[in-house]
Amino acid sequence: MLEIWILFVIWCFPYGDMLRRPRRNRKNRWIRDLVAEANLDLKDLMFPLFLKEGKGLKEEIASMPGIYRYSTDELVREIEQCLELGIHSFALFPSIADNLKDRSASEGLNPDGLYPEAIRTLKSRLPEAILLTDVAMDPYSSDGHDGLVVDGEILNDETVDILARMALVQAQAGSDIIGPSDMMDGRVKAIRETLDENGLRNVSIMSYTAKYASVFYGPFRDALDSAPKHGDKKTYQMDPRNRREAIIEGELDMEEGADFLMVKPALPYLDVIYQLSSVFELPVAAYNVSGEYAMIKAADQKGWLDGSLAMVESLMAIKRAGASIILTYFAREFAETLKG
């Protein structure tokens, strides 16, 4: 009986009479390229890099194969090579010695510290490199938190004051874009006002608008030794169960003077990237974080998937979701793939 029904359907609706055949737009590479809805370009990518005190230092991070901590001299060489490959934007993160860490993150305010000195060196040697610098207390904090901890509580307003002064130190050193990654309320406004009052109106702010309390940051915290010494970051980073809350954060950041909005992590939050890019006219960045990178690298090493193809598909998904800028540890590898 089933066979008779199938033959009846074919007779009534012969395939030869179909007017719409989506496969016609997939029939060869050139037509697929012609109708592609999203295209990934090297200019869309920003390469996160790790800085450490020392000289001649290039130290691989165990949980992030192919990613290193660099001394300033080696960082200059790495960025020179990346510029030759066509990468022009870099996010710089400092790994600070434990003896320089304290509860108030005072080393982050030191204009002669490792971070501002490296920024000055890079901008003097490689002025064409665009530098995004990180504003948060955790790299410098003995507590490992993004804010000032008093009696187990993360103090918001007192932290914002520290962050604004930290941003000023980085901007005066030559940072092109300030990246507050702390998720304190009101920090974008405080940073914008501080920069403007000091004649630094042209320094941009890329706000970590929707930064979620995520498990995918683990390898990054290994790279900087910046994990919280107690508790977690759930009172200030966003709850992974929430999506509409990102709109509130985006509205506040835009009103307070942000030039870019960011979603972090990227792949588990493609819906949030799409939402922010649909609602706001500001460019939306997405951070393809260390855990996302490490998963693909581990699966590739195990032979469970093709790492190169997984890299491209993942980055394309982030772009398709609406990201104008993708911070990714795959940036150099992607550039080398394009060079063939």
d(CA 13, CA 60): 61
DSSP lists the bridge partners of residue 179 as 134
3-state helix, strand, coil in the chain (%, to 5): 50, 20, 30
* Amino acid residing at 25: N
Catalytic residue among 211, 233, 297, 319: 211
Q: What is the dihedral of CA 219, 50, 132, 269, to 10 degrees?
A: -10
HSE, CB side, 13 Å, CA atoms: give it for residue 139: 25
- For 144, other C-beta atoms within 10 Å of its C-beta total 21
Query: CA dist 289 to 13, 24, 111, 266, 336, Å?
Result: 49, 37, 28, 7, 20
The backbone torsions φ and ψ at residue 61, rounded to the nearest 5 degrees and listed phi first, read: -90, 120
* Amino acid residing at 312: V
Judging by beta carbons within 10 Å of its beta carbon (0-12, 13-18, 19+), is residue 57 exposed, middle or buried?
A: middle
Catalytic residue among 52, 101, 233, 264: 264
d(CA 142, CA 137): 9
- For 170, other C-beta atoms within 10 Å of its C-beta total 25
Q: Which of 88, 58, 75, 167 is nearest to 122 (CA)?
A: 75
Q: Is 264 a catalytic residue?
A: yes
d(CA 179, CA 217): 17
Structure tokens at 308: 């190169």
Q: Is 27 a catalytic residue?
A: no
Helix axes 114-125, 156-173, angle to 10 degrees: 30
DSSP lists the bridge partners of residue 60 as 68
Quick one: which H or E segment has residue 264?
strand 260-264
Q: Which residues carry out catalysis?
A: 211, 264
